[in-house]
Amino acid sequence: MNTQQGALDVISIQKRFQEFLTEFRVGEEFVYKKRINEMVANHERSVVVEFEHLIDFDYELAKTIQEFPDYAMPALKKALLEALKMIDPEYAAEIYEYAVRNQQLRGVETFEEAASLIPLNVRFKLPQSSLIRLRDLGAQHVDRLVLVEGVALRVAVSKPFLVIPVYRCMRCGFVQTGIVGLTEVFAPTKCPRVSEEGQRCNGPMALDSSSSYSINHQRMLLQERQEELVGGVLPRGVQALLTDDLVDKVKPGSRVRVSAIYRAYKPVKAQGERALDTFLEVNYLESAEKEFESVELTEKDLEEIRRMAQDPWLKEKLIDSLAPGIYGLRDIKEAILLALFGAPAVVLPDNTRVRGDSHILIIGDPGTGKSQLLQTIAKLVPRGIYTSGKGSSGVGLTAAVVRDAKGEFMLEAGAMVLADGGVCLIDEIDKMDDNDRSAIHEALEQQTVTITKAGIHATLNARCGVIAAGNPTFGKYLRDRSVADNINLPPTILSRFDLIFIVEDKPDDTRDRELADFVLRVRGQGKVDVPFSAETIRKYIAHARRSVNPVLSPDAAEKLNGFYLEMRKKSDTPDSPVVITTRQLEGLVRLTKAHARMRLSGVAEAIDAEAAIRLYNVFLESIGVQTSSGKKVDLSTVTVGKTSEELDTMAKIDKILVEMLALAGANGVLEADFRIRCKEEGFSEKDIEKYLKLKKAGGVLFEPKPGRIAKVKS
Ligand SMILES: [Zn+2]
C-alpha cells in the first residue's frame, strides 16, 4: 500500500493538470475549456473529467490521481482555479473571495496550503473497464478512486450543513480536511504528503478548528442489483456519501454508476477493538438506467429472434419453455407471458398516462407451485424483481421511511420501485403490511409511489407489470364464496388486476396421473426438454420490449368493442349493475398489445384481440362466472364481493363524500359532518358505518387530521 512509485509531487500535479484542462483537445475542440465555460455559465462549481482523456494525455498523472486521490485533490482544485482565472477571472475571483470571505481559511497561513478548501470540485468519470463489483471491494481499494454500480436502495434526508474540520500537519504544515463519515467525521492521523522521492511525510495531524467549514451532505445505501445475483445470495450493500452539488441528485430505486474513494476508517470516538467502517465517498455520479436494461444482443441473437417470431408455434413453444419444472397451468403461463412482454403506456391528450403493463393475480392453494413459478419467471425478464409480501427479503413493496442503524431517517425503495421499467413478482401479496396496503393502489394504477413522512416528500416511479400470488383466506379456495372473500385483499386492490386466476389443489385422476408421470420424468432426467432456453427467452423479451410498440388496428378495436358491448348487454335490466367497465376494457387492450408485441408486430391485429378475449374468458370461468350460458354476468360480485344492491348503496354514499370533498380543503371533511349529511339523504347508520369501515380497511379513506376524512387519490 505504501509503495508510492510513480507518484508525482503536488507542484507537478497542479502544473500538469492545468495543462490538461487548458490544452486537451478532441479534434478541434478544447473539451475542458468548454466545460469550464459551461460551469461558469451555469453558475456551478464542478467540472467532470473523463478519466480516459486524462490517461491519453498524461498517464503518470492519471495513475497518481487514481492511487492517491486525497493527496492529489488539493493540487487539482488549485489547477482548476488557475485555469478558471485564465478563462473567467471574474468568476475565479468570486470563488476565491467566497473562500476567504467566509473565513474558511482563517488559521491557515497561506492559500497554497489551503488548496483543499477551494470550493471547486474536480469530478472523475472513470472508464467502464475499471468497474468493480460492490462485493469485490476490499483492502486493496481503500483510499483509492474506484468505479462501482448499484441501486440506490435507501437515500437519507439531505442535511444542509455539515461542518468539516480542517487538519494540519505538525511537521510540514500540509492541510487536509477530515473525512465526513456516515455520521462521524474521521480525522487523518498521518500526513499524506508524498515527497519527490516517493516518501510519505507521515507527520502527525492536528485539528485546526478555526478553519472548519460547511458543505451539504447526504447518505445513501448502494446495493447490488437483485436480478444480478444467483439464487439465495444476499445482495451486498455499501454506504455511500454524497456531498456538495451531488446532494439530492439520486432517488431511491434508481440505478447509478459512481466514481468514489473507498474509505475504511476506524471511527475517532471508538475505543479499542471495533470493525472498520467502510463507505464510498462519492466523487462523481451518473445514472446507469439504460445500461441496466440492456441485454446484449448480437447479430446472431437478432437473427434467431426474427426466426422465432416467424414460427407459427411460437406462443405454444414459449409457454412450453416457461417454468418447465412446473406442470400444466398453460393459460396462466400464457397470461404471465403477456405480462412479461407488456405494452407501451399511452399518454392521453390531457396528459393522463394509462399504464401499458398488465397486472396478474394468482390465488392458489398451498403447494400448487406458485412461489416456484414466480421465482423462475423473475429471471426471464430484464429488471424482474422477485419479492414476498411478507417482507422477508428486507424491502417492502412500495416505499418506506426507515430509521437505520445510525438513527437517521432514510427513504427506502420497495420492490415495485426497484422493478421500474421491468416486472415485479410478488409472492404472498395478501401478507403485505399496512404501509404497502395504502400505497399499492397508486403504485398499481398510476405506477408511482408518493411518500410524505418524517420530513421526506418524494414521488418515485414504479412503472412495472405486477405478477402476484396469494393464498386463500380459508387455507383452501372456497367455490361458494366470492373472490374477495377468498383472499385477504380489499376489492379496490383486486380491481387493479387485469386477470385473476384460481389454482386449486383438487383431486383429479387424469391430472394426478399426468402430474405423477411429469414429476418422475423431471426427477429422472433432472430437467425437461424445452424448445427455448431461459437465456433465449430473456433475449427475445428484452428485444420485444425495447423495440416493438404495437398500436391497435381497426379490426382489433372492433373485436374488443364487440366483446365489451356483448358483456355489457348480458345484464338486461335497465338499471343493471355495471358488469364490465372501461377499466376492464383497458385491461383487454393491454393484453391485446402485449400479444402483438410477442409476435414482434407493430400492429395489434384481430388475432391478438381474440387471444386476449380468450384469456379473459378463462379468467371469468376461473373465478366462477359462466360466460357461455348467456346467464347474467355480474363482475361486481367477483371483484367487489357485494351484491349489486349493496354496491349501489355504497356508490351513492361515496358520491356524497366525493361532493363534499370537492368543496373541502386539503384537510378533508369532518367525519361527523359527513355522517349527518348521509343521514339527511336517507341512509341508515349501519350503511354509513359499513361504508366507512370498508373504505378505511381498503385504504381508500384516510384521516388527514383526527376526526377528518379524505380520499386517497386514485
Ligand atoms: Zn506533513
Where does residue 619 rank: exposed (0-12), middle (13-18), buried (19+ CB within 10 A)?
buried
Take residue 261 and report the three cell numbers written for it. 474513494
Percent of the chain surpassing pLDDT 70 = 82
Q: Which residues contact 312 (CB under 8 A, 6 or more apart)?
A: none
Our measurement of the distance from residue 253's CA atom to the centroid of its chain's CA atoms, rounded to an integer in Å, reads: 3
Round to the nearest angstrom and report the end-to-end CA distance of the chain.
58
Ligand 1 centre to CA of 282 (Å) is 25
pLDDT tens per residue, range 139-194: 899 889 999 999 999 998 877 666 677 888 888 877 777 766 655 667 778 887 77
What pLDDT is stored for residue 509 in this prediction?
Answer: 59
pLDDT of residue 183: 57
Q: What are the residues whose beta carbons fall under 8 Å from the beta carbon of 655, sequence distance 6 or more?
A: none
CA of 270 relative to ligand 1 center, distance in Å = 25
Q: Determine the Cα–Cα distance for residues 353 and 231; give it in Å rounded to an integer.
A: 36
How many angstroms separate the alpha carbon of residue 189 from the centre of ligand 1? 11
pLDDT of residue 396: 85
Interval between CA 15 and ligand 1 midpoint (Å): 21
pTM score? 0.76
Q: Mean per-residue pLDDT for 285-313?
A: 84
**Higher pLDDT residue, 143 or 592?**
592
Distances (CA, A) of 650 to 200, 488, 504, 678: 78, 20, 32, 11
Quote the ligand 1 centre to 76 CA distance (angstroms). 18
So what's the pLDDT on residue 477?
A: 80
**Is pLDDT at 16 greater than 90 in this prediction?**
yes
Interatomic CA distance for residues 429 and 489, integer angstroms: 8
> Is the dihedral angle over the CA atoms 320, 324, 330, 335 positive or is it negative?
negative
- Judge contact between 359 and 444, C-beta under 8 A: yes
Contact (Cβ atoms closer than 8 angstroms) between residue 704 and residue 711: no
Neighbours of 13 (CB within 10 A): 26
For the four alpha carbons of 326, 327, 331 and 337, in that order, the dihedral sign comes to positive
- Listed in order, strand segments (DSSP E) in 484-561 are 499-503, 551-552
- 712 versus 343: the higher-pLDDT residue is 343
Q: What single-letter amino acid sits at 287?
A: S
pLDDT band at 577 (very low <50, low <70, confident <90, very high): very low
Name the nearest CA neighbour of 156 among 93, 80, 87, 239: 239
Q: d(Cα 476, Cα 474) in Å, to the nearest integer?
A: 5
Higher pLDDT, 294 or 415: 415
Residue 96 burial by Cβ neighbours in a 10 Å radius (0-12, 13-18, 19+):
middle
Residue 242 to residue 283: CA distance in whole angstroms: 8
pLDDT at 53 over 90: yes
- Residue pair 282/241 in contact by the 8 Å Cβ criterion: yes
Whole-number Å distance between alpha carbons of 570 and 628? 11
Closest CA to 425 of 433, 416, 434, 413: 416
Per-residue confidence band for 110, with pLDDT thresholds at 50, 70 and 90? low
Q: Model confidence at 598, in pLDDT bands (50, 70, 90)?
A: very high
Most confident of 221-230, 515-524, 639-648, 683-692: 683-692
Q: Pairing between strand 399-403 and 121-125?
A: unpaired
Q: What is the mean pLDDT of the chain?
A: 82
CA 168 – ligand 1 centroid, Å: 8
Q: At what angle do helices 582-598 and 554-569 cross, to 10 degrees?
A: 140
Q: What kind and span of H or E run contains 598?
A: helix 582-598
Residue 395 has pLDDT above 80, yes or no: no
Handedness of CA 642, 645, 648, 649 (dihedral sign): negative
CA of 262 to the centre of ligand 1 (A): 22
Contacts of the segment 140-145: beta carbons below 8 A, 24+ positions apart? 141/262, 142/1, 142/262, 142/263, 142/264, 143/68, 143/69, 143/70, 143/261, 143/262, 143/263, 144/66, 144/67, 144/69, 144/261, 144/262, 145/65, 145/66, 145/67, 145/69, 145/259, 145/260, 145/261, 145/283
Q: How many whole angstroms from 195 Cα to the centroid of ligand 1?
A: 10
Residue 113 has a pLDDT of 58
Q: How far does the centroid of ligand 1 lie from the alpha carbon of residue 551, in Å?
A: 69
Q: 697 alpha carbon to ligand 1 midpoint, in Å?
A: 66
Measured in Å, residue 200 CA sits from the centre of ligand 1 at 8
Q: Which of 2-11, 75-84, 162-171, 357-366 has the lowest mean pLDDT?
A: 2-11
Ligand 1 center from residue 205 Cα (angstroms): 8
519-533 per-position pLDDT tens digit: 666 555 556 678 888
- The answer on pLDDT for 627 being more than 80 is no
DSSP 568-582: HHTS-STTPPPSS-H
Q: How far is the CA of 67 from the centre of ligand 1 (A)?
A: 18
What's the gap in Å between 175 CA and the centre of ligand 1?
A: 8
Q: How far apart are the C-alpha atoms of 478 and 487, rounded to whole Å?
A: 10
Q: Which amino acid is at 74?
A: P
> What Å distances lie between residue 337 and 387, 474, 595, CA to CA?
19, 29, 9
In the reported structure, the alpha carbon of residue 77 is separated from the centroid of ligand 1 by a whole-number distance in angstroms of: 19
Query: Mind listing the pLDDT tens digit for each residue in 545-560?
Result: 988 999 999 999 999 9
